Amino acid sequence: MEHLPLWAQVGAVFVLLFVSGFFSISETAMMALNRHRLKHLANKGVFGAKTTQGLLGRTDELLGVILIGNNLLNTIIPVLTTSIALRTFGSNNLVLSVATGIVAFLIIVFAEITPKIVGATYPEKIALPAGFIIAALMRVLKPVVWFVNLFSNAILLVLHINTKGGRDQRLSTEELRTIVLESGNFMPTKHRSILLNLFDLENISVDDVMIPRRRIEALDFEAPFDDILRQIETCYHNKLIVYQGDIDRVLGVLHVRKTLAALHKQELERETLRELLTEPYFVPSGTPVFQQLQYFQETRQRTALVVNEYGELQGLVTPEDILEELIGEFTTSIPRGAGSRRGWNDEGECIVAGTMPLRELNRWLQLSLPTDGPKTLNGLLLETLEEIPEGDVCVRIGDVHLEVMQSDDQAIRTVKVFKPKSRQAARSARG
């Protein structure tokens, strides 16, 4: 180096700084890579993805090559810079101090901070092509890396540190939920909503999605036969629960279309009606929704009756009720509750029935009423008020303002819901 001109020696210093920066930027980019996305890129055959994935599978060797190269260069650069300064400006303490300060500044800016910031910002763009160079260096420096890692692995062994145990990159449900929430414009809103609902299903039982006992459309087998025929002809559903006297005494499930076919042939009598009934399918209260969905698939049933520990009917659940938790309510669903399903009016108000399930209400009006306690709006209000109100009562639950409009001795029948102010303000701003 002493025989080279000054400009060549300075140029050599900057070349070494560039190479040192390459090691720094490669290390940061590879460590910042998302392992799951890298696996996806490798499966798609993206250039450099498989090579980089293989390097990250040998972290000890990868870091060994990068750190050996980086530290070796960062040691050579000060020596070379100091030598140039002494030959150019003479030997004195001021020259040494200035040279040391300049080389420290150059290493920090050009070989450490700037490359690491760029590597952390664009990990994929840098790590994938850099992987080929690092892989070649690993083959060349394999004996040196093995020798250095021999000592480092011995130290880790003495300290009882298991490096293999820390490579598990599996994500928890909450981590997956966070990834979906932060997907932003990369995923359609509807798809993101379905995935989030899917994560919630593990904490939901059939009690949360069933049609409550009070709202089940059922047929009393002991009613006058003309009334039975009239109800069958005007029935909205394709299947009817048939009971005898009391809805807890379920006889079976009636297929309405088959019954109407028999009626048109004038073959329908009370005993013929009993023969058309299929065996009821009961499930215990508290059954997880995922498990119930699997039961529907295995038994090829379409309707399940939810009963409590005393055998009393609590509600009715179908596969459609479970699917609505995932994708939202079907447009073919029968209108439920007081008023209608039009949603908020121009004043930001909506009148609903007290029997409406909270999960359905939250989904319909985009609210956040608590669902970890009572299942219906009536139950939530009674738990909050601790009594059945005699007149109009207003209550605030979270950010939702509610007004009891109608009640009787047994329950709250009708409630007016006011749109949260934050939603109204956002709507006004958009307008």
pLDDT beyond 60 at 335: no
Q: What is the pLDDT of residue 283?
A: 93
Q: Which residue has the higher pLDDT, 4 or 345?
A: 345
Look at residues 308, 304, 298, 303 and name the one whose alpha carbon lies nearest to residue 282.
304
The DSSP result for 352-363, as a single string, is EETTSBHHHHHH
Polymer length of the chain: 431
Distance of alpha carbon 416 from the chain centroid = 32
Digit-coded pLDDT (tens) for 145-183: 888 888 888 888 888 877 665 555 667 777 777 777 777
- In this structure, which topology does domain 204-327 adopt according to CATH? CBS-domain (3.10.580)
Quote the pLDDT of residue 401: 92
For the chain, the first-to-last Cα distance in angstroms comes to 72
Contact 55, 138 (CB under 8 A): yes
pLDDT over 60 (residue 319): yes
Q: Residue 307 — pLDDT band, cuts 50, 70, 90?
A: very high
pLDDT at 116: 92
Count of helix runs (H) and strand runs (E) in the chain: 19, 12
What gap in Å lies between CA 307 and CA 304, rounded to an integer? Answer: 10
Q: How confident is the model at residue 250 (pLDDT cuts 50, 70, 90)?
A: very high
pLDDT, residue 429, reads 43
Mean pLDDT of 368-379: 85
* Residue tagged 């009148």 (tokens): 351
Reported pTM = 0.56
pLDDT digits (tens, 9 = 90+) for 255-267: 888 888 777 666 6
Per-residue model confidence (pLDDT) at position 97: 85
- Calculate the CA 95 to chain-centre distance: 60
Q: Do the domains spanning 204-327 and 349-430 agree at the CATH topology level?
A: no
Q: How confident is the model at residue 333 (pLDDT cuts 50, 70, 90)?
A: very low
pLDDT tens digit string along 187-208? Answer: 777 777 778 778 777 778 898 8
In angstroms and rounded to an integer, the radius of gyration of the C-alpha atoms of the chain is: 36
Q: What is the residue extent of each domain of the chain?
A: 6-167, 204-327, 349-430
Which run of H or E residues covers position 33? none
Q: For residues 264 and 62, give the distance between their C-alpha atoms in angstroms, rounded to a whole number.
A: 80
- Provide the pLDDT for residue 306: 93
Mean per-residue pLDDT for 210-228? 88
Cα–Cα distance for residue pair 351/417, rounded to 1 Å: 6
Gap between the Cα atoms of 380 and 375, Å rounded = 7
The amino acid present at 160, given as its one-letter code, is: H
Domain 349-430, what fold? 3.30.465
Residue 310 pLDDT: 87
* Res. 340: pLDDT tops 70: no
